[in-house]
Amino acid sequence: MDSNALKAFLTIVDQGSFSEAAETLHLTQPAISKRLAALENQLGTTLIDRSHRQIRLTDAGSRLLPHARRILDEIHNARVALSPDSGQVEGELQIIASHHIGLHHLPNWLRRFKREYPQVLINLQFMESDAAYEQMRKRNAELAFVTLSDSMEPSFHVFAQWPDRMVFVAGAEHPLASLSKPELSDLADHPALLPDTSTATYRVVSRLFLEANLHLNPQMPTNYLETIKMMTSVGLGWSVLPLRMVDDSLRVLELGKPVSRMLGGIGLSGRQLSNAAKALLDIVQEEENA
């Protein structure tokens, strides 16, 4: 099978349209349609149902999909293995970072990385962790730095990880801030400003309230921790935020309930990393373990 035809097939599936796939691969729409048609002719079957406005895989297309990804992964691995100078750190490095990691961790890593490896061109995207996992499945980045999930698929490999301590907080003028020894029951009387229910942070907090048989009253969910911090600081409710985000606008509520999450750098299992990715991971490990 022609690797370009397989790439066209995967890009059509991932982008959800022929036109967007053509733009992604810098091809004309007739050219990408021709590549798919050539692959279908070679296999003797239709891979994508064109009778609907929305892209739909046929049964054969669904069966080909995981094999196509593995084939292109192996081609990628072969190119990495046959690199003329296996020790050289250069080229383009595509990475994804969650908004929190991008604001509070990434600057130190990249400052050092650009100083030590100025010949590497970094292509950086910011997005929520759930979206980052999806982009990694589509091979749209080599590494993603995200909140690690306790239900992570085996197709992902964790290359680096570190704990992110979190604390219960309220605004300086919030009624909870005046309590010397607040309890979970005190928090239950006030709105909670937490990220979406699908996040690790929400699940940890929700579990604490369930175990104490208390009602959790979440308000205005958002996954942008800077937004949650602002809403908490002006007294709209209490929250749970990373310790490194706490400043004079917030008061830590000492409940004696330790909360933590794991942050980390992930890649895809079976897909070899470039030297640039390995170099960045070395820096991340050193900086976060310091």
Positive or negative: CA dihedral 72, 73, 78, 84: positive
Give the span between the Cα atoms of 284 and 279, in whole angstroms: 9
Provide the CATH number for the domain formed by 3-82 in this structure: 1.10.10.10
Long-range contacts formed by 129-132: CB under 8 A, 24+ apart: 129/98, 129/199, 130/198, 132/96, 132/97, 132/98
Percentage of the chain beyond pLDDT 70 is 99
Is-contact 64 43, C-beta < 8 A?
yes
Average pLDDT over residues 114-129: 94
Give the span between the Cα atoms of 145 and 33, in whole angstroms: 35
Instruction: Tell me the per-residue pLDDT of 33-47, one tens digit each, with 9 for 90 and over.
Output: 999 999 999 999 999
Q: Residue 113's pLDDT is what? A: 96
Is-contact 45 36, C-beta < 8 A?
no
Give the DSSP per-residue string, 128-150: -HHHHHHHHHTT--SEEEEEPPT
Give the span between the Cα atoms of 7 and 114, in whole angstroms: 31
Q: Residue 86's pLDDT is what? A: 64
Domain boundaries, given as residue ranges, for the chain: 3-82, 91-162+263-289, 164-261
Asked, colleague to colleague, whether 3-82 and 91-162+263-289 share their fold, the answer is: no
- Cβ neighbours, 10 Å, residue 7: 20
State in words which class domain 91-162+263-289 has: alpha beta
Q: Residue 192's pLDDT is what? A: 95
CATH homologous superfamily, domain 164-261: Periplasmic binding protein-like II (3.40.190.10)
User: Is pLDDT of 85 > 80?
Assistant: no
User: Is pLDDT of 290 > 80?
Assistant: no
Q: Residue 149's pLDDT is what? A: 83
Instruction: Tell me the per-residue pLDDT of 193-222, one tens digit each, with 9 for 90 and over.
Output: 999 888 888 888 999 999 999 999 998 778
Average pLDDT over residues 103-108: 93
Average pLDDT over residues 2-21: 91
Give the DSSP per-residue string, 122-133: EEEEE--HHHHH
Instruction: Tell me the per-residue pLDDT of 55-70, one tens digit each, with 9 for 90 and over.
Output: 899 999 999 999 999 9
Provide the pLDDT confidence category of residue 266 given band limits of 50, 70 and 90. very high
pTM of the model: 0.82
- 3-state class of 214 per DSSP? coil
